[in-house]
Amino acid sequence: MINLQCDYLEGCHPFILQKMEEANLNKTPGYGKDEYCRSAAEKIRQACRCPHADIHFLVGGTQANLIVITSLLRPYQGVLCADEGHIACHEAGAIEATGHKVICLPSENGKITAAQVEEICQMHFESPIQEHMVQPGMVYISFPTECGSLYHKEELTKLSQVCKKYCLPLYIDGARMGYGLTSRKNDLSLADIACLSDIFYIGGTKCGALFGEAVVIVNPDYQKDFRYLIKQRGAMLAKGRILGIQFETLFTNGLYFSICKKAVEQAEILRAAFLRKGIQMYGESSTNQQFPILTKKQADYFAKKYIYETWRPFDQTHTIYRFCTSWATEQQEILMLLEDIENMPLE
């Protein structure tokens, strides 16, 4: 069986394990105050062209989201988010458990627009009974989105502007950041991301690490006391260096980008192959996740050799499925799948 179910099936890029082994018996201070973390943070600051950013290494994405959002909001504020957003759907109420409402906006192709943010803010702040409603307190987006699409520079710039207008921090969930930045459709650099947002995280778990997400706090207004919240929410790793070592490795010689780029190219080829067969694709993913819309018969055909994810029903006779590539997907797996797409039943 070839497993393309998700992008966290394996361990980590071999360079990371090698570095961990070399460092294994070195004694370092705990809680992320070690040399590996310092060096990794410096490399990320350089990659972001953001010398004054604060960098914190956390273990996972839900953890990063809940800590960042708790840190940014006042108790009566909520976070604006696409209705398909990860925090709205797949974090078991982690944000609500910190006391904050996730305010869902209808999304198209996984994205929300500056106009939507403008509208909800205007409506809220002009209402005579605004204090009876949750105050919009920040904007959360994902890059890439849940369905693999990308905000383009123009869209992100507009979002950034409307956020500034209403004093809402803009936070970008970059669980799959590497796959977004290396897409051929992408026109944003890491420096652009840093310039247009207040805070974001660079995902490691899905992009070559064993685990780990690097939170980048660009806006100095939000840097104060962040480590308290990391500790309080149970996210301060005693041996923090394991995070430092991983990101240090990924941000040396562009490893993070090269391994993600390969996966995105593999996914592009799959997408093209499905489209060539007339298969409709859900969303406009130009990254490592592809969502063919298949009949049961077609799905069963692939199920003989492939493990994939059932995304959600599409219509009476079709379902959306997800095929994922990753830094670890092998070229021959893709070639076999291409052949099978070529021969797939047409309905």
Task: Reduce the DSSP state of residue 112 to 3 states and report it.
Answer: coil
CB of 314 to a second copy, least distance (A): 16
- Residues within window 54-83 making contact with a second copy, judged by CB under 8 A: 59-67, 70-71, 74-76, 78
Our CB check for a second copy shows the closer of 51 and 132 to be 132
Identified binder of a second copy from the candidate list 116, 149, 205, 287, rule CB under 8 A? 205
Contact letters for a second copy, residues 267-306 (x by CB under 8 A): ----------------------------------------
Output the smallest distance, CB 75 to a second copy, in A: 6
Q: Which is nearer to a second copy, 48 or 328 (CB)?
A: 328
Helices (H), 209-294: 226-232, 241-250, 255-276
The stretch among 16-24, 141-149, 214-222, 250-258 that binds a second copy (CB under 8 A) is 16-24
Here's the x/- map for a second copy, 93-132, by CB under 8 A: it reads as xx-xxxxxxx--------------------------xxxx
Peptide bond into 29 cis (omega under 30): no
CA 136 from centroid of its chain's CA atoms: 22
User: Least CB distance from residue 74 to a second copy, whole Å?
Assistant: 7
**241-260 binders of a second copy (CB under 8 A):** 241-242
First to last CA, the chain: 23
Q: Is 235 in the site for a second copy (CB under 8 A)?
A: yes
Which residue, 125 or 342, has its beta carbon nearer to a second copy? 125
CA distance 67 to 235: 9
**From the list 91, 192, 248, 268, which residue makes contact with a second copy (rule: CB under 8 A)?**
91
Q: Tally Cβ neighbours within 10 Å of residue 19.
A: 17
Going by DSSP bridges, is the β-strand pair 306-307/2-3 parallel, antiparallel, or unpaired? parallel
In angstroms, the CA 110 to CA 86 distance is: 11
Question: According to CB under 8 A, which residues from 137 to 196 bind a second copy?
Answer: none
Contact 33, 231 (CB under 8 A): no
Q: How far is the CB of 187 from a second copy (least distance, A)?
A: 29
Distance (Å, whole) CA 183 – CA 137: 31
- Compute the chain's Rg from CA coordinates: 21
The reply on whether position 220 binds a second copy by CB under 8 A is no
Ramachandran quadrant class, 253 (left: phi over 0; alpha: psi -120 to 50; beta: rest): left
Helices (H), 48-165: 61-72, 86-89, 114-126, 153-165
Where b means 16+ CB within 10 Å and e means fewer, 43-52 reads bbbebbebee
Nearest approach in angstroms of CB 158 to a second copy is 25
Instruction: Give the binding-site size for a second copy (rule: CB under 8 A).
Output: 75
Shortest distance in whole angstroms from residue 8 CB to a second copy:
4
From 89-97, 110-118, 154-162, 268-276, give the range in contact with a second copy by CB under 8 A: 89-97
Which position among 120, 195, 229, 299 is part of the footprint of a second copy (CB under 8 A)? Answer: 229
CB atoms within 10 A of CB 82: 25
